[in-house]
Structure 1
Amino acid sequence: MNWKSYTETQNIASLQEYILMKHNIILTKKGKSVKGTVQLTGSKSECNRALIIEALSNGKVKVENISDAADAVLLAGILRAEVKDRKLEISGADDSRIEHPLSEINVGPAGTAMRFLTAYLALQDEGVILTGSERMKQRPIGILVEALRELGAQIEYVENEGFPPIKLKGSLVQQSNKVSIKGNISSQYITALLLIAARLPFGLELHIEGDLTSRPYVEMTLAMLQTAGIQHTWQVNVIAIKNQDFTTTSLYIEPDWSAASYWYAIAALADEAELFLPGLTQYSLQGDSVITEIMANFGITSQFKDGGVYLQKEAKAISRKIFDLKECPDLAQTIVVICAALGHEATFTGLETLKIKETDRIKALQNELAKIGVKLTEKGQVYKLDCSEKQIPEYVFINTYDDHRMAMAFAPLALLIPQVEVEDADVVEKSYPAFWKDLEKVGFEAEATG
């Protein structure tokens, strides 16, 4: 699905018509050896932050190596849109032009865009309704809206209290510079506030209550702001940013470590693996670069040289039993599936935010793991794998629940299962459009159906 078709789905009147556009992928793999070079797209997390910074800087900051992930293309199109005849005319990756009424912006399933634009649009002069897909209308945004209201933003709910769509009246008149927000909710709420802090007349003093989930994502935001000239202080649980100007600079987007995690999974399930991922650095802003440490437990070595990272599989018994994924929740599906496939009965913590993602990722994992006889049990905030009835069928159908990470986390099972059919192959457009093509480059066969 290219940019044009992705955008057009937002205006389809019939759900049935949309379903007919979908197709599945059947994955097969001859042999269990994987070798090759894979060039990953730019980081969606870095790119979305950089695009908001660029828009707030009034031309001083430029973004280089923009990700071709659908979410990033969508956000870039909205922020760089031209206004003609009271309509936003948005440029797509393929130079298509899509018009939206100036009074409404539809982000579809793009959760990051929804959160970041909520804060960004609160500063703008024009009023706008911000909406999204049906799933987006089920994802809470009340905590961010309440924080912005405390700062002086005028925001109303259009349908259901606490959920999109929302109406932003624009022209925030700051009433306070102090906001408290819980640390165990989505880090995107915190990032959205930090991104606009320097443009607030009195700056921002953000108080984080309790433990901070996904801390690396907050650190990424602050590091990118600092590159753009925005200074901050972080003392105990208070992050403070004064009103200040951006400096003239460029922000280069590193390849996506979240995307790299699927290649680590492939290496873990292969008998032999030698892979090179260009452009990735050892000292990355991206929290998901911790995948190198996690996957060392599964015998995957990471050697940084020649401008990238080499992955190699070595025989090693898995000893680690507990994985705390609080700071890297986007790796959760990948790690859980690897453990399940290998029959490793691990315990997982730090998965609290998974229930409010593109889908309820906990339920989605439970449903799909059951298809290979593995149970993921939940007790409080602790999750355990029971692999006692694990089986390797000849064929398995994986539902994706409109979640890109479900598709990519389960795809490596094709190294163990003769046929893996993945529902709605285009769902990977959200973060890694070339995923299926890249699999083919290293020996997988990906046959489209439907």
Structure 2
Amino acid sequence: MMQNIILTKDNKQINGTVHLTGSKSECNRALIIEALSNGKVHVENISDAADTVLLAGILRSAVGSGQMAVGVEADSLLTTNNPPLTTVDIGPAGTAMRFLTAYFAIQDNEVTLTGSQRMKERPIGILVDALRELGAHIDYEEKEGFPPIKLKGSFEQQTSKISIKGNISSQYITALLLIAARLPFGLELHIEGELTSRPYVEMTLVMLETANIKHNWHDNVITISNQEFATTSLHIEPDWSAASYWYAIAALADKAELFLTDLTPYSLQGDSVITEIMANFGITSQFKDGGVQLTKEAKPLSRKIFDLKECPDLAQTVIVVCAALDHEATFTGLETLKIKETDRILALQTELAKMGVKLIEKGQVYKLDCSEKFIPEKMFINTYHDHRMAMAFAPLALIVPQLEFENGPVVDKSYPAFWTDLAKQGFNVQEIEA
């Protein structure tokens, strides 16, 4: 039976300390780097997000005998040969699908990559086309342009120069950059048009630089030559995406004093911009004592336009906060939301309508209409198999007397301890069978 979550909060105050899991975005990149480095790179503070655990397990099975097991501590080594992988099911893990497509494209073994039904509806064609142009042998097993795909091994590089559109998922670009140093002729990647989610590409390049993989980025061209990884460790910072939900909770509280451990002001993660965004809602961020202290202060809302192009994973969080506060803001940079775990635009529109709020789409601009907003006594939240739908709407428990979330365990994808952490901070969390 699926488990739903009933969420309530007896008061509108929040005070405490939260320990966040490692960043899924950083960790998934680090695990691919570790696997490509032939044991030279070691990952520390690995995330317990379900997507990361899955990716680590797949890569652990893929590395050869005697190499360091991917995603485990340094004193744990593989001592037996692994049978070659033939089929890899990544479930709903979109990042794993993109990164593993590139990773397996340059391996010798033939592998079929598949996933959940929703994964089979998420496009992969742009990345496959780029890899084919480089020299990979990839076939579609069902629908053209979508998983499942068969990667046939026997990679022979045909060119080092490829072009890819910048306004599609940055994960396609990152997937290519991660394997670039292992390509015999390296990679000269031309980005066409404006680059969406630029901080995620920058994160990738900084992490590669830490492992001694140099790059040159001039105008719209990123170049990485064939080169060796250095022996090093990649330490994973706590997840700023997870932190964003606590910022949202602080924004909707009457009084908030929260300490989030181990976060720094010098993060690689684009979602750390949540500190600037939530300052508009009266949340101050003070970095001290090995973390960040959040404090709620009274402040009139003034900012009307939020450009989320470089931090699309914050979109649901920010939009829900604005709706809760009757802040009829305008949002841009949401182009990639329709091809995520669900169509996040449609999901937001559907769930916000349950409290009378409209998210109106006009081209690439979205505007909140709170003119008919009301506060229901109870509100049922459909999650659409999307972890961020559950976590973005959870702060509404400070506004709505009772929330019920479909499929509570959906949060395991990126923040398995989410409901537990809410309970520790004074929320009433009840699991029920659906």
Q: Deviations over 1:111-145 (max 9, x none)?
A: 00000000000011100100000000000000000
TM-score by length of 2: 0.95
Q: What residue identity is the alignment partner of 1:182?
A: K
Paired residue for 2:16?
Answer: 36
Q: Secondary structure in 1 aligned to 2:58?
A: helix
Q: Deviations over 1:169-207 (max 9, x none)?
A: 012100000110000000000000000000000000000
Paired residue for 2:293?
Answer: 310
Q: Secondary structure in 1 aligned to 2:409?
A: helix
1:26 equivalent to 2:6? Answer: yes
Q: 1:132 to 1:315 in 2, by over 3 A?
A: same
Paired residue for 1:154?
Answer: 137
CA contact (8 A) 1:301 1:312 kept: yes
Q: Secondary structure in 1 aligned to 2:117?
A: coil
CA contact (8 A) 2:84 2:109 kept: no
Q: Hey, what's the Cα distance between the residues in 2 that align with 1:409 and 1:158?
A: 35
Paired residue for 1:56?
Answer: 36
Q: CA deviation at 1:102?
A: 2.5
1:355-374 matches, within 5 Å, as 355-374=338-357
CA contact (8 A) 2:35 2:70 kept: no
Q: 1:276 to 1:146 in 2, by over 3 A?
A: same
Q: Hey, what's the Cα distance between the residues in 1 that align with 2:39 and 2:62?
A: 15
Q: Secondary structure in 2 aligned to 1:208?
A: strand
Q: Secondary structure in 2 aligned to 1:199?
A: coil
Q: Hey, what's the Cα distance between the residues in 1 that align with 2:153 and 2:263?
A: 39
Paired residue for 2:405?
Answer: 422
Q: Hey, what's the Cα distance between the residues in 1 that align with 2:258 and 2:343?
A: 32
Q: Secondary structure in 2 aligned to 1:323?
A: strand
Identify unmatched segments of 5+ residues in structure 1.
1-19
Q: Secondary structure in 2 aligned to 1:212?
A: coil
Paired residue for 1:381?
Answer: 364
Q: Deviations over 1:340-370 (max 9, x none)?
A: 0110000000000000000000000000000
CA contact (8 A) 1:82 1:90 kept: no
1:334-373 matches, within 5 Å, as 334-373=317-356
Report the RMSD for the aligned CA atoms in angstroms. Answer: 1.7
Q: CA deviation at 1:92?
A: 10
Paired residue for 2:245?
Answer: 262
Q: CA deviation at 1:101?
A: 8.1
1:37-436 matches, within 5 Å, as 37-81=17-61, 102-436=85-419
Give me the identity figure in percent.
Answer: 78
Q: CA deviation at 1:81?
A: 1.7
Q: Hey, what's the Cα distance between the residues in 1 that align with 2:21 and 2:154?
A: 36
TM-score by length of 1: 0.92
Paired residue for 2:79?
Answer: none
CA contact (8 A) 1:73 1:92 kept: no
Q: Hey, what's the Cα distance between the residues in 1 that align with 2:152 and 2:326?
A: 53
Q: Hey, what's the Cα distance between the residues in 2 that align with 1:171 and 1:383?
A: 46
Q: CA deviation at 1:244?
A: 0.2
CA contact (8 A) 2:342 2:384 kept: yes
Q: Deviations over 1:300-345 (max 9, x none)?
A: 0000000000000000011000000000000000000000011000
Q: Hey, what's the Cα distance between the residues in 2 that align with 1:92 and 1:340?
A: 42
Paired residue for 2:426?
Answer: 443
Q: Hey, what's the Cα distance between the residues in 2 that align with 1:337 and 1:156?
A: 41
Q: What residue identity is the alignment partner of 2:93?
A: A
CA contact (8 A) 2:62 2:85 kept: no
State how many pairs are aligned: 422
Q: Deviations over 1:209-260 (max 9, x none)?
A: 0000000000000000000000000000000000000000000000000000
Q: Secondary structure in 1 aligned to 2:214?
A: coil
Q: What residue identity is the alignment partner of 1:103?
A: T
CA contact (8 A) 1:276 1:310 kept: yes
Q: Hey, what's the Cα distance between the residues in 2 that align with 1:244 and 1:92?
A: 25
Q: What residue identity is the alignment partner of 1:61?
A: V
Q: Hey, what's the Cα distance between the residues in 2 that align with 1:281 and 1:91?
A: 24
Q: Hey, what's the Cα distance between the residues in 1 that align with 2:91 and 2:387?
A: 14
CA contact (8 A) 1:77 1:92 kept: no
Q: Hey, what's the Cα distance between the residues in 1 that align with 2:406 and 2:265?
A: 34
